[in-house]
Structure 1
Amino acid sequence: MAAKIKLDIETMKCISLFGKITKVTAKDCFKQDKKLIFIVDEGKAGMAVGKKGANIKKLEKLLNKKVKIIEQSDDLIEFVKNVIYPLKAKEISENEGIVTIVPIDNKTRGYLIGREASNLRNYEEVVKRYFDIEELKVSQS
């Protein structure tokens, strides 16, 4: 991963609180719109979420923000799957820096793109933070 990430004091506090509540070390934390996104090691997302989402609920209450947890992966395709989770894709491919997501149906396509492509741009921002890509696109299902 080509990630050169600088963390400010507020971010460090969020990561510390995340670790205390979830018992999982966050690799990264950043704000996106009104949401806090935490990146955790592969296989640690379930533990970070907690039983019935208990850890997420506790964090959201303490931080007064929505929280999303994404599993880190060194594989671009796997990382994109993790970023768009819980949405599913029929296929994800990369060609010359353009990552194309083929959704399973039109409803999923709508969720992936979002109003005025806001969801898609947010996903793209997260992926670009770790991988050198040009664009994230959603094709017809």
Structure 2
Amino acid sequence: MVELTNDELKCISAFESLTGAMVRDCIISESEIVFIVSEGELGKAIGKKGANITRVRQSFGRQVLVFEDNEQMEKFVRSLFAPIAVTNINVHDKMDSKTIYVHVDERDRGSAIGKDGKRIKLARTLVQRKFNCDLRLATH
């Protein structure tokens, strides 16, 4: 179980009151706030024509990212990389550690990594928090 800081709890409370969506996890970085909402509540978090997410971004004064939670590792990982097409996901167990290999097309590699590696770092952090696994990107 991940322990949340007071700032994260305040952000979760504000997000839930602004959107009506149930938040499962939150990560605050210098440039953005990331929310994981309960399965099926992504639409509620975004709102009609993006009204809710726009209101949240204005309220927090920084970039806000929202992902949908899923207990199935593969679906959760795919949602982290959407709209990039993930061609395959392999899980390798070695002794006490698990590594997830996410395969994307060579053309999508830059998008999967993100500017300054932000997207892949965020995906690694979220997968580590939720499933206690490492995440690696592979191309073909």
Unmatched segments (≥5 aa) in structure 1: none
The residue aligned with 2:139 is 140
Query: Where do 1:70-85 residues align within 5 Å?
Result: 70-85=67-82
CA distance in 2, matches of 1:55, 1:115: 26
Structure 1 residues 80-137: Cα deviation after superposition (integer angstroms, max 9, x where no partner): 112222322111221111111111x32321111235544212210111011121x311
1:102 and 2:103 aligned? yes
1:139 counterpart SS class: strand
Does the 8 A contact of 1:77 with 1:92 survive in 2?
A: yes
**Deviation, structure 1 residue 40:** 1.0
TM-score (norm 2): 0.87
The residue aligned with 2:21 is 24
Does the 8 A contact of 1:49 with 1:56 survive in 2?
A: yes
TM-score (norm 1): 0.86
Does the 8 A contact of 1:73 with 1:79 survive in 2?
A: yes
How many residue pairs are counted as aligned between the two chains? 136
Q: CA 1:93 to 1:32, structure 2 compared with 1: closer, same or farther past 3 Å? A: farther
Structure 1 residues 7-26: Cα deviation after superposition (integer angstroms, max 9, x where no partner): 22222221111111111121
Unmatched segments (≥5 aa) in structure 2: none
Does the 8 A contact of 1:92 with 1:99 survive in 2?
A: yes
Q: Which has the higher contact order (CA 8 A, sep 6+)?
A: 1
- Aligned-pair identity (%): 28
Give the partner amino acid of 2:27.
F
1:98 counterpart SS class: strand
Q: CA 1:32 to 1:94, structure 2 compared with 1: closer, same or farther past 3 Å? A: farther
Query: Where do 1:1-40 residues align within 5 Å?
Result: 4-40=1-37
The root-mean-square deviation of aligned C-alpha atoms, in Å, is 1.6
Does the 8 A contact of 1:102 with 1:139 survive in 2?
A: yes
CA distance in 2, matches of 1:125, 1:112: 15
